């Protein structure tokens, strides 16, 4: 039987208890407990809303226990927004399907606008929100607003010399506009005979490149490992736990 950890916090005669597995970070859990208590006190110590106000907002959740339950979910299971970007035809949608464990194929159906999918990842109890951005030039004006709130940007190139030029231009443009973004560079279509090696691509863009063939399912373990490594890197870089990530669309 798996061993469990119990954490508790006391504030204003209220005791909060969380049960976790042995691998949870103690500082992070204690931080979340504090936030949960603050939200509980804020919600249940506030005076009830007047009936007239409730009638004017019929869609507002009126059951405090349901409101609190949703709040706890957001605190304990934070979202991480990942944007998959690159020019058209480089394999962004295939990469998204590979991450999700969905069937991929070699046929090309361009994404129109933005495609959003959710995925639970077995690290830090996080849920990923994967945003697949259309790479056609006419859709790129949508990138800026949809990149708001992004934690990790996966830049995809098809590893051809021509696309490397365009990928570098896109990468530098986004990097200048959003220097806080964390990037993962994927050198896709490494199965093609004229594919540029990941090492060469990485040197050209001054960022580590990971070779991949997004239409082959045996690469799923590799891409999930790359994402988990980046999440761990971001977590360790923080001096203290941060509040849950809110996705802005």
> What is residue 122's predicted lDDT score, i.e. its pLDDT?
62
**Each residue's pLDDT tens digit, 190-226:** 999 999 999 999 999 999 999 999 999 999 999 999 9
CATH architecture for segment(s) 79-237? 3-Layer(aba) Sandwich (3.40)
As a whole number, mean pLDDT of residues 94-122 equals: 74
Residues 197, 198, 203, 204: is their CA dihedral positive or negative? positive
Alpha-carbon distance values, 100 to 75, 123, 183, 217 (Å): 24, 15, 19, 11
pLDDT above 70 coverage of the chain, percent: 59
Among 117, 139, 136, CA closest to 128: 117
Residue located via tokens 């970070």: 25
Among 76, 79, 81, CA closest to 149: 81
**Each residue's pLDDT tens digit, 137-175:** 655 666 677 778 888 999 999 999 999 999 999 999 888
Q: Choose between 162 and 234: higher pLDDT.
A: 162
State how far the Cα of 138 lies from the Cα of 118, in Å rounded to an integer. 26
Residue located via tokens 């896709």: 188
Assess contact for 202 and 209: CB atoms under 8 A. Answer: yes
Q: What is the mean pLDDT of the chain?
A: 75
DSSP string for the chain: ---EEEEEEEETTEEEEEEEETTS-HHHHHHHHHHHHHHHHHHHSSPPPPHHHHHH-TTS---HHHHHHHHHHHHHS-EEEEEEE-STTSSHHHHHHHHHT----S------SEEEEEEEETTTTEEEEEEEE--SGGGGGGHHHHTTT-SEEEEEE-S-HHHHHHHHHHHHHHHHH-TT-EEEEEE--TTSTTPPPHHHHHHHHTS-EEE--TT-GGGHHHHHHHHHHHHHHHHHH-SSPPPPP----
State how far the Cα of 17 lies from the Cα of 70, in Å rounded to an integer. 17
Query: Which sequence spans correspond to the domains of the chain?
Result: 4-76, 79-237
pLDDT confidence band for 127 (50 / 70 / 90) = confident
Among 89, 99, 45, 96, CA closest to 68: 45
The tokens of 149 are what?
Answer: 């709130």
Note the pTM of the prediction, 2 decimals: 0.64
**Each residue's pLDDT tens digit, 2-38:** 455 544 455 555 555 655 555 556 666 666 677 777 7
State how far the Cα of 239 lies from the Cα of 31, in Å rounded to an integer. 13
pLDDT at 52 over 50: no
């Amino acid at each position: 039987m798996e061993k469990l950890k119990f954490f508790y916090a006391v504030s204003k005669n209220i005791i909060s208890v969380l049960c976790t597995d042995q691998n949870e970070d103690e500082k992070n859990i204690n931080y979340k407990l504090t936030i949960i208590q603050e939200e509980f006190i804020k919600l249940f110590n506030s005076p009830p809303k007047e009936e007239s106000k409730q009638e004017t907002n019929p869609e507002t959740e009126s059951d405090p226990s349901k409101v609190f339950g949703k709040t706890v979910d957001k605190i304990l299971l934070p979202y991480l927004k990942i944007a998959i970007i690159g020019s058209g035809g480089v394999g962004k949608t295939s990469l998204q399907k590979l991450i999700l464990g969905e069937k991929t194929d070699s046929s090309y159906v361009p994404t129109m606008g933005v495609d959003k999918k959710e995925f639970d990842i077995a690290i830090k109890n996080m849920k990923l929100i994967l945003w697949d951005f259309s790479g056609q030039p006419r859709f790129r004006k949508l990138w800026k607003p949809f990149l708001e709130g992004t934690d990790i940007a996966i830049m995809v190139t098809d590893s051809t010399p021509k696309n490397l030029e365009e990928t570098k231009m896109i990468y530098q443009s986004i990097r200048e506009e959003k220097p806080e973004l964390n990037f993962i560079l994927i050198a896709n279509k490494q199965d093609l005979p004229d594919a540029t090696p990941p090492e060469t691509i990485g040197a050209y863009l001054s960022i580590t490149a990971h070779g991949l063939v997004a239409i082959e399912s045996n690469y799923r373990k590799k891409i999930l490992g790359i994402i988990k490594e980046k999440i761990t890197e971001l977590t360790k870089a923080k001096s203290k736990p941060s509040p849950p990530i809110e996705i802005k669309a």
